[in-house]
Chain A
Amino acid sequence: MKAKFKSYIRNLVCLSAFLSCLIAALLSGCMKRPTFVNSLPGERGMRYSATAGGTLTNGMAAHRIRSDLVTASDELWIIARSSESPAPQGDDAPGSGALMAQLEERQIPMPLKHTDVRASLSGYIATVQVVQQFHNPYDTKIEALYVFPLPANAAVNEFIMTIGERRIRGIIRERQEAEAIYQAAKRQGYVASLLTEQRPNLFMQSVANIEPGKAIDVTIKYFHTLAYVDGWYEFVFPMVVGPRFNPPGSTNGIGAVALGEHGASRQKTELQYLQPHERSGRDISLSVAVDTGVPIEEFRCATHAVSHESISSHQLAVTLNPFDTIPNRDFVLRYRVAGGKVKSSFLTHRDARGGYFTLMIYPPEELASLARQPLELVFVLDCSGSMSGIPIAQAKAAIERGLRRLRPGDSFQLINFSMNTAQLGPRPLEATEANIEGGLAYLHALKGEGGTMMIKGIQAALDFPHDPQRLRFVCFLTDGYIGNETEILREIHQRLGASRIFSFGVGTSPNRYLLDQMAKAGRGAVAYLGPRDDGAQVMEDFIERISHPALTDLRIDWGGMQVEEVFPRAVPDLFVGRPVILTGRFKGNGNTLIRVAGNAANDPVSFSVPATPVASSETSSGLPSVWARMKIADLADQSLLAPDARLHAQIKQVALDHNLMSAYTAFIAVDSTRQSGGSEGVTVPVAVPVPEGVNYDTTVK
């Protein structure tokens, strides 16, 4: 009896526990909504929904699709065809029905409709405003994602979201905080914009909750210094990111996939590329206002068709022609001022934070007359798939000219890399006629195919003993289409030794961040070969420049300025035709005489630069941002060699104090006055064209 009673009690307890758990499970399961399922092993979940038909808000009727051909799980791009013939514009006008019919182009609706760029160039500072016009051509709410390039030294310090007539200024915040705010706003149905940095020259714009038919504009403003070489200023606006190669097994690179193949690359950042016959309808407008302060003698834009107006002898307005507005290559404007070169110059700005300056030091005339020294030239050619066609042809022409300019007493080596490396011989060859002809034969046989294991090229180029009797210059010719920039730069730092690195960027949209950094790390310089540039002439100029000794070991006496935090920290060598630009802070009297001293072929050289501060202007008001951007770059370089969380914290703080984008800060803007209902909408990445001259089939997955 007792045993039975115990058994009953035991069963009762078990039953009670079971029923309690059952009730608890049912109740809590009812209160929670299903968690959003991400289709990516990362922070963004994307799901495309197929709709049978729908109407685009630009008045074009959607192509009706039979519902039995489409299921809810299909990925489907709605292809729109106008039900009416477009107004005749002439067969040559882009976008005209006649032209599209001839090319059999396929129109892909994209959330990014237009980009407007306005640049103002004064001295060697550029102030640029970029307006990205997003719209929703679909019948459901969307989130737009757009990965785009900017100059690697751009100090992005302003961000405004425009909805109709309303303008909302974005706030710079610590990156993770900004991302969390954006995700919360997106989930709750608010229009929000987030700008993050993926690389110093690569950014991602996210715009959430764009309702059907609505438009959102995002305005970005930045400052940067202009390049100045051999008497020519150069302004570059990059328009497209080239497809990058990522070493096998990497996930922190930049993926390149076909339209709709989201996640195929397994990279943290990814771009979708349009096929050569696809068009998004997106275009770009660009205008540049130049004010040099001295007469402008000549200007060139070899990359695009432009119109211009000379407002005065020292002011020029340049505008992109309406029929050259497909953003598939970088815009490059060069202009030359009176006298063929500019004198050393000095610019200052003072505000509540203190004094900022930038100094351009131009090499003295006599440097060009000093004797030439024997050279050891190591040419390293990128033979990957993205280089096939025009880029490798240009690079080979440049190397050929370099080989033919060598003199008795010089030596050379040829190295080529793609997935593996190969070289002309086990060691550099004397520059004899026979050896040069052998080198040319080797060069002419090289082709562009395969991946881009640039690490192997760097190791091969820097890992053999340096001839102390010769000046060694390692010349990399590449488009820089790789996703592991950090690894490459670290390798250069570790192996550089007594070499100097000159990087030649090839193609319509080279990776300028990588190439500039390689030159900086290698104490050399960088040059760019656009598709319409003469590669042989660029190499001719380069050989001429390096043939004269540089002014090395530069020492600067700043007079009464009391300078601090001057960047770059290690003052570069001063080569003929290439000035050095230093940016820093000062406390003392900005009106002083600056003395520059150095060695040229072991002989001391010195000269003075009068430093008279000019009145603050819009241009000089950008100096604090330019300086802060250089400080951030310096901290990032230090972190490259020795990763340290304290350096990351310093970068973040400098960026927050100066309202700047960085790897650890981001801009966020939320319109909290209006909340849209329904789900978070469909995420639509903006697909981009492959840069002009790049082969889609060999570079995109």
Chain B
Amino acid sequence: MKLIGNVAQISNLLYRRFPTYGATRVIAGSPKCNSARRQIGNLRYLVGLCALLAFSPSDSLFAQPDATNPTPVRFLAVDIFVDSKDQPLAAYQLEFSVTNSLGKIVGIEGGEHAAFAEPPFYDPKAMQRERVIIAAFSTQPADTLPTGSTRVATIHLQVIEKAVPEFVLKLHTAADAGGRKLTVSAYLEEGRSR
């Protein structure tokens, strides 16, 4: 017969002398002893688990989605270029849209040339469907207008982090300083850091 004692041994750690409630003298081999061993054995792990939970970061075991950032997002810029070849570009109108609902437009920036530096206006009803119809015209003299490939605007977007947004760019019209229609091309590029 072995006297277990009046404390619960919770492993061989320093707090092995941590007293439990209602210490009882228990004699080894008695029915009480067997029950006591089982209870202490289970208690051992339960107390250890509770101690672990109490001191662990609250978001580690029961991490909930962050209410302020429910869906991870990232930001990117899309530069819009119009290439008028050797003709001075005085005006343009084009349409940019996000077609797969994975992006939101969060800013429209003006172009690189002074003639189109002012950020274009947008149609508010079209914007509600992430569609931007932008147009600009410059009254500057023809010899000061841009030629070749010119960044006319940049669209700033927020997109879902791991998603691939799809964009469509439609060129409606372009004209020179005299109001004559120009044959131009338009294209997109991912914006560079500025």
Contact = CB atoms under 8 A, between A and B. Distances in A.
Interface in B49-86: 49, 52-53, 56-57, 59-61, 63, 66, 68-69, 73-77
9 contacts: A7-B41, A25-B52, A167-B110, A168-B119, A169-B120, A169-B122, A177-B104, A181-B158, A192-B106
Interface in A651-672: 656-659, 668-672
A170 B69 contact: no
A34 interface: yes
Contacts of A671: 107, 109, 156
Nearest to A187: B69
Interface stretch (A11-19, A51-59, A316-324): A11-19
B41 A184 contact: no
Chain A contact surface mostly: mixed
Closest 9 CB pairs of A and B: A29-B60, A169-B119, A672-B75, A659-B124, A670-B106, A168-B107, A672-B156, A28-B60, A169-B108
A172 interface: yes
Contact of B75 (A18, A659, A670): A670
Interface in A467-491: none
Contacts of B156: 168, 669-673
B175 interface: no
Nearest to B110: A167
Interface stretch (B2-10, B21-29, B92-100, B186-194): B186-194
A624 B172 CA distance: 26
Contacts of A92: none
Contacts of B169: none
Interface of B: 38, 41-42, 45, 48-49, 52-53, 56-57, 59-61, 63, 66, 68-69, 73-77, 104-110, 117-122, 124-125, 127-128, 154, 156-158, 191-194
A32 B156 CA distance: 29
Contact of B122 (A10, A167, A171, A668): A171
A181 B42 CA distance: 50
A188 B158 CA distance: 12
Given A25-B61, A32-B59, A184-B69, A669 B117 contact: no
Interface string A181-193: 1011101101010
Contacts of B125: 657
Contact of A18 (B48, B104, B117, B119): B48
B124 A172 contact: yes
A166 interface: yes
Contacts of B108: 168-169, 171
A173 to B, nearest CB: 8
B109 A167 contact: yes
Nearest to B38: A7
Given A171-B122, A656-B128, A190 B109 contact: no
A22 interface: yes
Contact of A11 (B41, B75, B106): B41
B53 to A, nearest CB: 8
Nearest to A660: B124
A1 to B, nearest CB: 14
A670 B158 contact: yes
Nearest to B74: A188
B95 to A, nearest CB: 16
A165 to B, nearest CB: 7
A22 B157 CA distance: 42
A35 interface: yes
Contact of A658 (B60, B66, B124): B124
Interface string A671-696: 11111000000000000000000000
Nearest to B117: A167
Given A168-B109, A668-B106, A14 B56 contact: no
Report which residue of B57, B77, B156 has the largest number of chain A beta carbons within 10 angstroms of its beta carbon: B156
A34 B66 CA distance: 12
Contacts of A161: 107
A501 interface: no
Contacts of A183: 68-69
B42 A22 contact: no
A169 B107 CA distance: 6
A672 B124 contact: no
A45 to B, nearest CB: 10
Contacts of B45: 14-15, 17-18
A403 interface: no
Contacts of B49: 18, 21
Contacts of B59: 32, 35
Given A169-B122, A184-B69, A185-B75, 8 more contacts: A10-B38, A14-B41, A24-B61, A25-B61, A32-B57, A166-B109, A171-B127, A672-B106
A35 B63 CA distance: 11
Contacts of A35: 59, 66
Contact of A669 (B42, B106, B121): B106
Interface in A1-55: 7, 10-11, 14-15, 17-18, 21-22, 24-25, 28-29, 32, 34-35, 43
Contact of B194 (A10, A17, A25, A673): A673
A681 B154 CA distance: 27
